[in-house]
Structure 1
Amino acid sequence: MDTPVSKIRTAKLELYRKKGKIHAKAVDGRFNTLRWTMVWLTQIVFYGACWLEWEVGGASRQAVLFDIAHEKLYLFGLVLWPQDALLLAIALIIAALGLFFVTALAGRLFCGFVCPQTVYTSIFVWIETKIEGDHLARLKLDQSPMTTRKLALKSLKHGIWLAIAGWTAITFVGYFSPIRDLLAALPRLDIGPWEGFWLIFYGAFTYVQAGLAREAVCQHMCPYARFQGVMFDPATRNVAYDSRRGEPRHGRLNNATSGDCIDCGICVEVCPTGIDIRHGLQYQCINCGLCIDACDQVMTRTGAPTGLIRFASAAELAGPAVGDKANLRPRIAVYIAMLTAFSALGAWSIDRRPPFLVDVIRDRGALHREMPDGRIENAYTLKLMNLTDTPQELSIDPEGMAGLEVIGQRSFPVAAGSINPVHLTLSAPGDCILSGLQPITLRVSTNHAAGRQMRENTSFFLP
């Protein structure tokens, strides 16, 4: 006789639920419309932004370009350098806080409407639907033996998927290598090893994730699905089934004690991750709202009020008494305060960002030179860095010692978004009572951004 312990020992461990490929039923409604609106919006931005041009000094460059080779990031008129890493950190913090804030308010809206996995899966499934038919036709085709028709349909579908994945990879790499140059180099295979690697990797990644893995990414691979629960509270609104109104289910035989749910199962058929929302909140749910669209249509046909499945919090579903207590949400206030603070910090950092930077290196090969007229000269190398997208003229004025002056050129042009290493010679009177290494300051000013200047400390060597 098997005991409970023996049954546990002989049970097979399943790492995930085996459901097979999910063929979700298409549904119309306000959430589906919103979902496709976000698909169009995100893809217009992604595929289009890399083609925008920005005029700089009579010439044009790509408006959005992560120029890793030259350690610069172009965002329209803004040129960011490695020294601006703080701005990147602030942007990432704001993005993370924004995600936490939205999740605390309405669950996984990001996953349901703007996550790249969701967006590209929607595109790939739409193509599959146009080629193979609706969800029942696709299921029947998958279960049928291989025929000439099936091979043709599958080949056409995967061919279009590969074409979209390839163009997506080209667009992605086009944000790091100018896309017009990249397209011209591809037919000649005149691309670098890193460009080739990312073209292959990102193309294969898009094809596998959106075309083959699909819902498995949300169910088993996405870490966000696993830790999202820590950002929820009783007042977080998620796609939820109102069991107080829907139960007991009654099928087609209704009576006075039955709920509004007719147990049609359409909410499961339209779910892209294949879950039954009537079982309560599940980590696989991406809050896309398609089950709401489907259930509302059924409720309308049966004459019942819509909203049996809707965006609702656990407190709301539990009743007014619990819901009123859950409205006090200090975490929302904290998120808003932090978002405001970091947004203000980012805006202040951009406003106070200097238009140029200067590195001063004193010539250590010759500490000083004594000239025939008795004056003492020191040589320096200055790296003038123009952080803007317009040419600048930088002027150098020494401070800190009496009689200190610039010999020769003291004003230097610096092209937009570039570094110009220049040589500077300073001269001091030979009868100076000082000796040895003396601290001085170089005041650097620009003909742009009136009033903006900076001071760099260095030293002057006297005998």
Structure 2
Amino acid sequence: MQDHIALGVKQGIEEVATVSEKIPAKEVQETEEQHIRYRQLYEAADKIYTRKVSGFFQKLRRYTGLPLIAGFLLMPWLVIDGRPAMLFDLPTRQFHILWMTFWPQDGMLLAWLLIIAAFTLFTVTVLVGRVWCGFTCPQTVWTLMYIWAEHFCEGDRNKRIKLDKQGWNTEKVIRKGGKHLIWVGIAFITGLTFIGYFTPIRELIMGFVPQIGADGFVTFDVHPAAAFWTLFFTFMTYLNAGWMREQVCKYMCPYARFQSVMYDTDTLAVHYDAGRGETRGPRKPKEDYKANGKGDCIDCSWCVQVCPVDIDIREGLQYECINCGLCVDACNQVMDKMNYPRGLIRFTSEDQLETGHTHFVRPRLFGYSLAVLVMISAFIYAIGNRQPLSIDVVRDRGTKMYRISGDKVQNVYTVNINNMDRNAHIYRIDVVGEGDYKVRGYRPMQLEEGERFTLPLRIVVPRDQLPESKNEISIRVTAKDDESMTAEQKTIFIGPKK
């Protein structure tokens, strides 16, 4: 046995030696560029100076971004039924959204809403790629506002490069200072508005208004927690949109990593038509460039200069691309100047570039769309049939599980009633079960909006109507002014054994 093992080990060593002779190991030297890239990790090697461009997609971004900004800023100021239209009141655990009030018990609805949002995003990605990132993502929208401040204070791309290279003087201090002042202002308004979704924004703003006390010192009547979180989100907005920018899209956003799983050859995305553009290179205005073996791309690099994430779309589809379409607008401007047809860079699919056809109806897109429609329908049904009333029943687990008084058996319960409606209601309590169950020590009560009420409840039933020692009953709470507003919970009624 030992000889066989030794022989096997010897043969294994000889095979490894043979393989090592056939496939020699090669030492790979790390280049300086790779060393810099690995050392910097999230940091870009050079500052990105985006070129200002106009066109269809730039206007489309404005028309999609401005309504989102307006909605974000104005929603906390909108009042419905005497309260903010959207207020997440954490101390009272009430979430007011338009005409409805939600409670922690409605957490399942929030989970379903997030699932619907995720599947909707998947559906859109399969159809038109990463357009959410390019047109409606808050990181992109706020970054565009910060880039606008750069253009306003420091000028276009070439002026900003020149300004950064020159030494510090009065002009540079004014331009840089004005830019950062606008950045901080936008960040503070953003932080203030965001916290305005958790505390009434009018009170929050008045708290930041300085007041001079009797001792002559300046004070602020704002809650420390509200002040901290407002300043925290102010700083994070200033950091993300002003300094990190494309680093968030490239390295921090998880969507950039798994989006490729949802892409297929028929997904519409920004593509460079290499068959038409290659071989790229400069040329004279009236040169017969095709006779010289050149394509429509003049290698002006405008598509790179306008890219907010600093990629070259001509190198192919890349995960960093947010499908903003700015390179499409820039290339179309160059094509117009050269009197070439537009569309060298355009929204299209890989199949369209290769075969001239795009299949819009395909199994994956159909499956995602069907799932979204089903979930939206179920969500609307759940919201429409949601009862703003909850009940929690706990049976008394004392030493005596039941009491006998004459020919009747009694159990004691603790009932918690939560009126989650925006109106006050008078509620009555009924018992449903196989027997003549009666409620003792109770009378109909009125609960105000958002009020919770806890009461002990005694339920009695004739002893001869108990078929078993453990009997299932239901305690039901109903609003007297609205019979459809009801909630019930099952529990156990215990009696003596037969």
TM-score, L = length of structure 1: 0.88
Aligned to 1:399: 432
Separation in 2, partners of 1:156, 1:305: 41
| Residue identity matched to 1:420 | F
Separation in 2, partners of 1:118, 1:434: 68
Q: 1:418 to 1:77 in 2, by over 3 A?
A: farther
Separation in 2, partners of 1:200, 1:27: 34
1:260 aligns with 2:296: yes
Q: 1:449 to 1:336 in 2, by over 3 A?
A: farther
**The residue matched to 2:29 in structure 1 has which SS?**
helix
Aligned to 1:27: 53
Aligned with 2:416 (options 383, 395, 412): 383
**The residue matched to 1:294 in structure 2 has which SS?**
helix
Give per-residue Cα distances to partners, 1:134-160, cap 9 Å, x unaligned. 221111111111112212221222122
1:232 aligns with 2:263: yes
Q: What does 1:289-368 align with in structure 2 at a 5 Å threshold?
A: 289-320=325-356, 323=357, 329-364=362-397
**The residue matched to 1:8 in structure 2 has which SS?**
coil
Q: What does 1:446-461 align with in structure 2 at a 5 Å threshold?
A: 446-447=479-480, 449-460=482-493
Aligned to 2:79: 53
Separation in 1, partners of 2:73, 2:167: 38
Q: Give the stretch that moved more between structures: 121-130 or 453-462.
A: 453-462
- 1:432, distance to aligned residue in structure 2 (A): 7.3
1:73 aligns with 2:95: yes
Whether the aligned pair in 1 keeps the contact of 2:432 and 2:476 (CA below 8 Å) is: yes
Q: 1:151 to 1:5 in 2, by over 3 A?
A: farther
Separation in 1, partners of 2:374, 2:468: 50
Residue-pair matches, total: 452
- 1:451, distance to aligned residue in structure 2 (A): 3.5
Give per-residue Cα distances to partners, 1:71-104, cap 9 Å, x unaligned. 2211112221222122111111111111111111
Aligned to 1:219: 250
Aligned to 1:280: 316
Q: What does 1:82-97 align with in structure 2 at a 5 Å threshold?
A: 82-97=104-119
Q: 1:313 to 1:195 in 2, by over 3 A?
A: same
Aligned to 1:158: 180
Separation in 2, partners of 1:369, 1:192: 52
Separation in 1, partners of 2:385, 2:343: 51
Separation in 2, partners of 1:137, 1:163: 24
TM-score, L = length of structure 2: 0.82
Aligned with 2:240 (options 200, 203, 209): 209
| Residue identity matched to 2:244 | A
Q: What does 1:84-123 align with in structure 2 at a 5 Å threshold?
A: 84-123=106-145
Give per-residue Cα distances to partners, 1:14-67, cap 9 Å, x unaligned. 236854111111111111011111221111111111111110xxxx11211122
Q: Give the stretch that moved more between structures: 442-451 or 188-197.
A: 188-197
Whether the aligned pair in 2 keeps the contact of 1:397 and 1:410 (CA below 8 Å) is: no
Separation in 2, partners of 1:34, 1:435: 71
Structure 1: runs of 5+ lacking an equivalent: none
Q: 1:271 to 1:460 in 2, by over 3 A?
A: closer
1:136 aligns with 2:158: yes
Separation in 2, partners of 1:434, 1:267: 82
1:195 aligns with 2:231: no
Aligned to 2:29: 8
| Residue identity matched to 2:280 | R
Give per-residue Cα distances to partners, 1:269-299, cap 9 Å, x unaligned. 2222222222221222111111111221222
| Residue identity matched to 1:356 | L
% identical aligned pairs? 40
Separation in 1, partners of 2:487, 2:274: 67
- 1:260, distance to aligned residue in structure 2 (A): 2.1
Whether the aligned pair in 1 keeps the contact of 2:435 and 2:466 (CA below 8 Å) is: no
Q: 1:403 to 1:154 in 2, by over 3 A?
A: same
**The residue matched to 2:430 in structure 1 has which SS?**
strand
| Residue identity matched to 1:390 | N
**The residue matched to 1:50 in structure 2 has which SS?**
helix
| Residue identity matched to 1:41 | P
Separation in 2, partners of 1:403, 1:220: 67
Separation in 2, partners of 1:442, 1:318: 67
Q: 1:308 to 1:368 in 2, by over 3 A?
A: same
Aligned with 2:445 (options 394, 397, 412): 412
1:444 aligns with 2:477: yes
Greater relative contact order, per chain length (Cα 8 Å cut-off, separation 6+): 1
- 1:375, distance to aligned residue in structure 2 (A): 6.5
| Residue identity matched to 1:260 | D
Separation in 2, partners of 1:438, 1:8: 79
Whether the aligned pair in 1 keeps the contact of 2:414 and 2:454 (CA below 8 Å) is: yes
Give per-residue Cα distances to partners, 1:316-340, cap 9 Å, x unaligned. 11133xx46x666311011111111
Aligned with 1:126 (options 121, 145, 148): 148
Separation in 1, partners of 2:466, 2:412: 21
Structure 2: runs of 5+ lacking an equivalent: 1-24, 210-218
| Residue identity matched to 2:59 | T
Q: Give the stretch that moved more between structures: 214-223 or 24-33.
A: 214-223
- 1:227, distance to aligned residue in structure 2 (A): 2.3
Q: Give the stretch that moved more between structures: 248-257 or 80-89.
A: 248-257
Separation in 1, partners of 2:112, 2:122: 15
**The residue matched to 1:413 in structure 2 has which SS?**
strand
Separation in 1, partners of 2:181, 2:392: 54
**The residue matched to 2:87 in structure 1 has which SS?**
strand
The higher radius of gyration belongs to 2
Separation in 1, partners of 2:376, 2:207: 40
| Residue identity matched to 1:360 | V
